């Protein structure tokens, strides 16, 4: 029976550090971290994430500005808002909720964020530095994934890691973080042939495809570390990519859904905004 990787427990450890960091800055008369989080439209997932950000910031003493714009907002208006936030010395982190409405060019909007406040690593500058191995903000979900893997105590170096999903926000940056830890990385996607056989060789398996129950026990190598990034709502309940009941009997370590990667992501965002002050 695999050991559950408790995302809530790991997040708690980081939250304690963040709260201590904020209190020390207050005692020293220094600026407290402040996030400006922008949502355009009424996307349910974005709204849920925005509310979580505010709730946790309030709890940890981090300042938070919630900015909600109409669905039909003009691209130029959003860029003007971001430009204003770039110049606001009281704001040291800008978070843009994705996806954006279809009429808005995502690249134009993300490019408007100044590099030093890009706490979710959406800009070309931060992305380029990240992949070149230079100091940069690490995207929040990938950072959560790598921290959860490390929490198991396993040595990532030399391990075979398989990532299912090649998105710019999860699959690709996770592959880079695992390469940085000297894992041998394989990225799989919808065109990959013989996926089950590839997964069966994975010491570390990361699934980020958004297909509930897609990864059954047959995909899992004995004693693998399984990280489930999938989050799909079915009948009001959150479901992951991995068939947990089947996988847990084979994996050495496994993240649940909910309570795994998602429990860490907002905490990593706030950690990034704290690091922006250093």
| Binding-site annotation: residue ranges for NADP(+) | 165-167, 231
Pairing mode, if any, of strands 232-234 and 237-239?
antiparallel
Rounded to whole angstroms, the maximal C-alpha distance in the chain is 59
Q: Distance (Å, rounded) from C-alpha 276 to C-alpha 33? A: 8
3-state SS, residue 150: helix
C-alpha torsion 134→138→203→9, nearest 10: 140
Report which secondary-structure segment, H or E, holds 164: strand 160-164
Q: Say if residues 145 and 206 touch (Cβ distance below 8 Å).
A: yes
User: Which residues fall in the annotated binding site?
Assistant: 165-167, 231
Length of the chain: 278
Q: Which of 76, 78, 84 is nearest to 40 (CA)?
A: 78
3-state SS, residue 160: strand
Tokens of 96: 């843009």
């Amino acid at each position: 029976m695999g050991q559950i990787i408790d995302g809530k427990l790991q997040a708690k450890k980081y939250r304690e550090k963040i709260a201590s960091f904020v209190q020390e800055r207050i005692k020293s008369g220094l600026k407290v971290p402040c996030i400006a989080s922008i949502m355009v439209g009424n996307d349910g997932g974005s709204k849920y994430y925005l509310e979580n950000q505010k709730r946790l910031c309030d709890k940890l003493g981090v300042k938070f500005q919630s900015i909600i714009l109409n669905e039909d907002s003009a691209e130029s208006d959003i860029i003007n808002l971001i430009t204003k936030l770039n110049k606001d010395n009281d704001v040291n982190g800008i978070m843009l909720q994705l996806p954006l409405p279809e009429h808005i060019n995502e690249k134009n909007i993300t490019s408007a964020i100044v590099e030093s406040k890009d706490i979710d690593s959406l800009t070309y500058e931060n992305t380029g530095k990240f992949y070149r191995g230079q100091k940069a903000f690490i995207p929040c979900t990938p950072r959560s994934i790598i921290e959860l893997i490390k929490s198991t105590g396993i040595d990532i170096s030399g391990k075979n890691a398989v990532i299912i999903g090649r998105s710019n926000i999860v699959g690709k940056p996770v592959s880079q973080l695992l390469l940085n830890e000297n894992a041998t990385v394989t990225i799989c996607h919808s065109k990959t042939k013989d996926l089950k056989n590839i997964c069966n060789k994975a010491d570390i398996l990361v699934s980020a495809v958004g297909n509930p129950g897609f990864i059954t026990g047959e995909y899992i190598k004995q004693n693998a570390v399984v990280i489930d990034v999938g989050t799909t709502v079915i009948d009001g309940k959150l479901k992951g990519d991995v068939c947990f009941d089947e996988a847990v009997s084979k994996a050495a370590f496994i993240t649940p859904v909910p309570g795994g990667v998602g429990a860490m992501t907002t905490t990593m965002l706030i950690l990034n905004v704290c690091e922006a002050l250093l």
